[in-house]
Amino acid sequence: MCKLELSKNNKKLTRLFSKGIWLSILITISTLSAQEKSISLDDINGGTFRPEYLSALRSMNNGKEYSIYNYDRKSKTSTIDVYDYKTGEKVKTLLNSTDIEEIDYIISYQFSDDETKLLLATKLKQIYRRSSVGIYYVYDLKLKKLTLVSDNQIQEPTFNGDSSKLAYGFNNNLYVKDLISGETKQLTSDGQINRIINGIADWVYEEEFSVVRAFDWNINGDKIAFIRFDETEVPEFSMDIMGNELYPTQQVFKYPKAGEKNAEVSLHIYDLGTNQTTKVDLLGYNNYYIPRIKWTKDNSLLSVQLLNRHQNELDLILVDVSNNNSTSLLHQEKDVAYVAINDDLTFLDNNNFIWTSEKSGWNHIYLYDENGKNEQQITFGLWEVTSYYGYDKNTGLLFYNSTQNGSINRDVYSVSLKEKKIKRLTRKTGSNNASFSKDFSYFINTYSSSTIPYTYTLNESKNGKVIREIMNNDDLVNKLKEYKISPKEYSTLSINGNQLNMYTLKPLDFDETKEYPLFMYQYSGPGSQSVSNQWIGGNDYWHQMLVQDGMIVVCVDGRGTGFKGRDFKKITQLELGKYEVEDQIAVAKKLGELPYIDSGRIGIWGWSYGGFMSSNCLFQASDIFSMAIAVAPVSSWRFYDTIYTERYMHTPQENPSGYDNNSPITYADKLQGDFLLIHGAADDNVHLQNTLRLSEALIQEDKDFEWAIYPDKNHSIYGGRTRSHLYKKMTNFIKESLGDFNTNYKN
């Protein structure tokens, strides 16, 4: 069509445009002509656009080499190989599965601190999002000897400092295996399913504090600190698993919903010399949660992070095990909203420590002495430190990632601890993320943008100079040239007194004289980011499929999302779903005023928090939105877990209006448009209860809506042909609701 129209108007165009502009137009037309293929669901779900990823690598202690796990599909053999950073050439093979009869397949590995042993994982079975059990072996690299850790499927096996012992969890108790004598010692005996857990996190700690291993060896490896979880009073949640048998089974686990009892946690120290366990007295501190424990560089000093239930007061304390477990307050962090938990705490050789904080209004790096005094702010500015990589004691440089180059971009930086001099180490605008060698001489940078898929380079840490390219995705780039791919147009939108980040996808043959349906995507959760300058993922390709068939897709990060300062993020405190919904409604209204947007055909969708949002937007603004899709949504924060929900909302007993005034259930009577509600029946995170209670409210209001429940599927709703079915259902719903815009996809 484009060629024909330009042919007819060739003379007119020649008069209007200079030779240079005319050449530019011809190139654009040629590019559009080359993009002939339409994206299909088969392409998206079948791996057509799957990028190449660099296998996870581990820096060796010398800082000059790294190891990679390699698997040969043809021979079905696994190897752990060592490569030279600078040249990329293989130095040696540490392990080949063909030399080990006892193991058929290695899933993962880790080194002991002294790199004399390998811990090999096999037969892993997933429990929740981050946790698993498996059969583990220790391979002695010097003796070429393989040792089975346990006949049982165990959790979180961890070497002590000299790799002579290995601690692990089994059936809610802690064990230590002596790798020299072969003896296994049970450290605790009161562990019981759904009652007592020793050294392994409960469900809510794992999900919301991102921790599974709740024990830690001291430097000398003669003591283990661990957290004990008493879940006795925590209410149970059950899920029916349909399976393939005549009768379903039931999964029962402790899940503390907002306002309910959490596990009672306590801190203990086990002394391997005396075989005695002592309890640490935490009275006098904010000890409701123990989200982190970590030994310092001093063998007798344990650092412990403690939180109150509101999570707005954090105590960093030291436990001196050489002085009867005496405690002292090292640092205290307070915030009127909440204090975030992370893994940035780093103790230097003299026990001075690095800490990150939002106390300035933006997340920055601080240095304290061993007593928690002499605070020095290391980074400054109206931007955020997004990742802390570590400190090189030899150069005095500290490495981090931040938004200094704009909130949708990420770059790697160094800063000198003394002069506070900052140096940008990455040059390409987009998303940069570094993995440093142990001596901080090199880093492998992962770069991408909205137009460039993942590229991996080896860089010098002192100046960021690129030494060599390790891997790129040029093949994917060339493949995508055959498809109709619309560029993301980044901009900001002035909404409710704020400049909100936005991206827009328009059809390649966009004509501003026409009207297009508008489909909005968002997540909107606290501290999240959906508008970022990085390579596209699965939902992006689906959005491209919708766009190529005549729709405009936009995404806007409203108030409450991250990386634009503390106040922007924490404005939603005690009111989750209020300001975020106001912003999305205002965005839809403003964009609906554009001449090329059909204001009568505006839809919105989201998953999880995004489903909570899309439901609220449709119910509360049926005059703006004509349809919504909610996948695995929270329908009331009363149904969600304590740690996440109370961090932002306090308890329902304290803040009932905050919970109920922003719940989609409250507005079920206002549904006017088309609504599709989707959930996985085995969702251990956002329970099916949310969708069933919302659907019941809609039914009792005699509201018509569509819904789908996916049997035995978790929060991600995947497995087999599930994703294909899910996205086909959503595509058909959009087509029927927003009008037939020639959607074309394969069955």
What is the distance between the alpha carbons of residues 384 and 465, in angstroms, rounded to a whole number? 24
Q: Which of 298, 335, 549, 683 is catalytic?
A: 683
For residues 300 and 325, give the distance between their C-alpha atoms in angstroms, rounded to a whole number: 9
Q: Which of 291, 264, 127, 125 is nearest to 210 (CA)?
A: 291
In contact, 271 and 188? CB cutoff 8 Å? no
> Within 10 Å of residue 125's Cβ, how many Cβ atoms?
10
Instruction: Report the distance separating Cα 151 and Cα 344, nearest Å.
Output: 36
The phi, psi pair for 736, rounded to 5°, reads -70, -30
Please confirm, yes or no, whether 679 is among the known catalytic residues: no
Q: Taking the CB of residue 245, how many other CB atoms lie within 10 A of it?
A: 8
Q: What angle do CA 147, 152, 155 make, to 5 degrees?
A: 90
- How far, in Å, CA of 575 to CA of 582, rounded? 12
d(C-alpha 30, C-alpha 202), whole Å = 58
Contacts of 704 (CB under 8 A, 6+ apart): none
- Output b/e per residue, 544-571; b: 16+ Cβ within 10 A: bbbbbbbbbbbbbbbbbbbbbbbebbbb
- Catalytic entry in 97, 310, 715, 737: 715
Sheet holding 326-334, edge to edge: 289-295, 301-307, 313-320, 326-334
DSSP tag of 656 = H
Residue 455: strand, helix, or coil: strand
DSSP code of residue 350: T
121 bridge partner residues: 108, 136
Calculate the alpha carbon distances from 500 to 149, 430, 581, 585, 626 in Å: 53, 18, 14, 13, 23
CA separation, residue 26 to residues 3, 9, 22 (Å):
10, 14, 6
- Using CA atoms, how far apart are residues 663 and 675, in angstroms rounded to an integer? 16
713, 268 contact by CB (below 8 A): no
Residue 240 annotated among the catalytic residues of the structure = no
Dig out the tokens for 52 from the structure: 């190449």
Cα–Cα distance, 558 to 608 (Å, whole number) = 16
Q: Count of CB atoms within 10 A of residue 37's CB?
A: 16
* Catalytic-labelled residue, pool 608, 614, 615, 695: 608
Handedness of CA 425, 428, 433, 439 (dihedral sign): negative
d(CA 164, CA 609): 46
HEC-encoded secondary structure of 303-326:
EEEEECCCCCEEEEEEEEHHHCCE
364 catalytically annotated: no
What sign for the dihedral angle of Cα 469, 52, 606, 569?
negative
Count how many Cα atoms sit within 13 Å of the Cα of residue 638 in the half-sphere of its side chain. 19
Q: How far apart are CA 626 and CA 648, in angstroms?
A: 30
Active-site amino acid positions: 608, 683, 715
